[in-house]
């Protein structure tokens, strides 16, 4: 029972609501002896934080991460690492009107059906603000994975109809963070920017796709049956707000392919066993094979839009709503570090789980 806990050995528990005192995370199971780079955590937080550019929300979130425990003289001690992020920019007045309405495609209605009540301030626990805690924890997972030379890189590969039709091998990852859209292709970046600004003007929003590549992952990670590495990654991604789909390697296209076309033949590269193609996406039978792991994550358009929408209030009466808050018209540029963080949590956990594989 781990509704707010993620992972088996490297376990992260997050807490907090968008307009409460603070959000945060407790990491239990981070090995002792890991050097913590506070600057790196700060940079990761900045990648997720709002207000980065004209295409994201101007809302400011105070994303300073305080490490309350588990680190002594900058090194992890094996004790739980508590990470605290205080909520600073709480304009609760923006939200009180929402206590009596069920916003379309939000979690207002479902929370109330589940719990009998809800914290209606800015979405409460359902707010994407919770993901800040994941990015903080993911930063520590990344520091751990550095020790194994495992690199995780996500980027925006589609927004609305605009698609980046290039395999990841042809992209320059260094461009990702220099583009406001986090799409590492100058021309596509520009077109996406235009689309987002247009939708902002229209008071609408749009969905998109984040792609992710894990390089340097050793062969042998993942469990053969229920905790296949692809299942764990899918679970992680589908646990991110607004995600509607996940595909690994060949993904949905595999459904249209022939076995003779899809199978990845083994070939030698010096002493190493490689595969000629990588439709498997780096995972075979649920276990990594040493090739790059890559996958796509589909995000729906943000539910909060300025355009007027018909819906019901909590009494069941028809009403029209227009969101007034400061919201992203497109979530995917800021979702990039969240996808990376969740992938890092999965891989860190499976690296540790794998230590029990052999006598």
For the bound state, the minimum distance from the C-beta of residue 135 to its own copies, rounded and expressed in Å, comes to: 14
Near its own copies in 164-193, by CB under 8 A = none
Chosen residue from 51, 78, 167, 186 binding its own copies by CB under 8 A: 78
Q: What is the DSSP letter of 281?
A: T
Chosen residue from 190, 279, 292, 326 binding its own copies by CB under 8 A: 279
- Contact present, 63 and 48 (Cβ < 8 Å): yes
Chosen residue from 38, 62, 64, 66 binding its own copies by CB under 8 A: 66
> Residue 3 interacts with its own copies (CB under 8 A)?
yes
Near its own copies in 237-256, by CB under 8 A = 237-239, 241, 243-252, 254-256
C-alpha–C-alpha distance, residues 118 and 253, integer Å: 41
> Vertex 332, ends 157 and 204: CA angle to 5°?
115
Chosen residue from 179, 184, 289, 335 binding its own copies by CB under 8 A: 289
Cα dihedral 118→119→123→127 (10° resolution): -100
> Residue 265 interacts with its own copies (CB under 8 A)?
yes
For the bound state, the minimum distance from the C-beta of residue 102 to its own copies, rounded and expressed in Å, comes to: 5
Count of CB atoms situated within 10 Å of the CB of 8: 15
Chosen residue from 264, 294, 333, 337 binding its own copies by CB under 8 A: 264
Burial 300-309 (b: 16+ CB within 10 A, else e): bbbbbbbeeb
The site that binds its own copies (CB under 8 A) totals a number of residues, namely 158
Chosen residue from 223, 333, 336, 343 binding its own copies by CB under 8 A: 223
Q: Maximum distance among all alpha carbons in the chain?
A: 70
Chosen residue from 15, 40, 168, 173 binding its own copies by CB under 8 A: 15
Name the one range near its own copies by CB under 8 A: 53-61, 169-177, 185-193, 226-234: 226-234
> Residue 63 interacts with its own copies (CB under 8 A)?
no
- Choose between 53 and 313: whose C-beta lies nearer to its own copies: 313
Smallest Cα–Cα separation from 329: which of 299, 352, 353?
Answer: 299
For the bound state, the minimum distance from the C-beta of residue 238 to its own copies, rounded and expressed in Å, comes to: 4
For residue 190, what is the enclosing H or E element?
helix 186-202
- Choose between 38 and 178: whose C-beta lies nearer to its own copies: 38
β-strands 71-72, 65-67 pairing = unpaired
Smallest Cα–Cα separation from 256: which of 290, 279, 225?
Answer: 279
> Residue 16 interacts with its own copies (CB under 8 A)?
yes
Name the one range near its own copies by CB under 8 A: 39-47, 50-58, 122-130, 175-183: 122-130
Near its own copies in 320-349, by CB under 8 A = none
H helical segments located in 88-130: 108-115
Near its own copies in 300-319, by CB under 8 A = 300-305, 307, 309-312, 316, 318
C-alpha–C-alpha distance, residues 298 and 283, integer Å: 20
Smallest Cα–Cα separation from 180: which of 191, 164, 165, 166?
Answer: 191
For the bound state, the minimum distance from the C-beta of residue 311 to its own copies, rounded and expressed in Å, comes to: 5
Non-local CB neighbours of 355 within 8 Å, separated by 6+ positions: none
Contact letters for its own copies, residues 125-164 (x by CB under 8 A): xx---x-------------x--x----------xxxx---
- Contact present, 296 and 211 (Cβ < 8 Å): yes
């Amino acid at each position: 029972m781990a509704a707010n806990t993620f992972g088996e050995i490297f376990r992260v528990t997050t807490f907090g609501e968008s307009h409460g005192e603070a959000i945060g995370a407790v990491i239990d199971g981070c090995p002792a002896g890991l050097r913590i780079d506070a600057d790196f955590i700060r940079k990761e937080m900045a990648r997720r934080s709002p207000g980065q550019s004209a295409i994201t929300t101007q809302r400011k979130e105070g994303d300073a991460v305080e490490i309350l425990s588990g680190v002594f003289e900058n090194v992890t001690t094996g004790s739980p690492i508590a990470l605290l992020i205080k909520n600073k920019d709480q304009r609760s007045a923006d939200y009180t009107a929402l206590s009596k309405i069920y916003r379309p495609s939000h979690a207002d209605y479902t929370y109330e059906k589940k719990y009998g009540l809800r914290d209606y301030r800015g979405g409460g626990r359902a707010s994407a603000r919770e993901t800040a805690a994941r990015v903080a924890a993911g930063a520590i997972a990344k520091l751990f994975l550095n020790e194994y030379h495992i690199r995780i890189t996500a980027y925006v590969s589609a927004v609305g109809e605009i698609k980046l039709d290039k395999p990841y091998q042809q992209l320059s990852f260094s461009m990702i963070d220099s583009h406001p859209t986090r799409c590492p292709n100058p021309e596509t970046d520009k077109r996406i920017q235009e689309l987002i600004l247009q939708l902002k003007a229209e008071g609408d929003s749009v969905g998109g796709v984040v792609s992710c590549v894990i390089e340097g992952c050793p062969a042998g990670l993942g469990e053969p049956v229920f905790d296949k590495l692809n299942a764990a990654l899918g679970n992680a991604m589908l646990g991110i707000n607004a995600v509607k789909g996940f595909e690994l390697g060949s993904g949905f296209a595999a459904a249209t392919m022939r076995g003779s076309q899809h199978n990845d033949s083994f070939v030698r590269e010096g002493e190493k066993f490689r595969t000629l193609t990588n439709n498997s996406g780096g995972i075979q039978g649920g276990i990594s094979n040493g090739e790059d792991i890559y996958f796509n994550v589909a995000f729906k358009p943000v539910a909060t839009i300025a355009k007027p929408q018909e819906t019901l209030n909590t009494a069941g009466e028809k009403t029209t709503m227009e969101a007034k808050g400061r919201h992203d018209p497109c979530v995917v540029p800021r979702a990039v570090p969240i996808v990376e963080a969740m992938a890092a949590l999965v891989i860190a956990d499976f690296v540790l789980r794998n230590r029990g594989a052999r006598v």
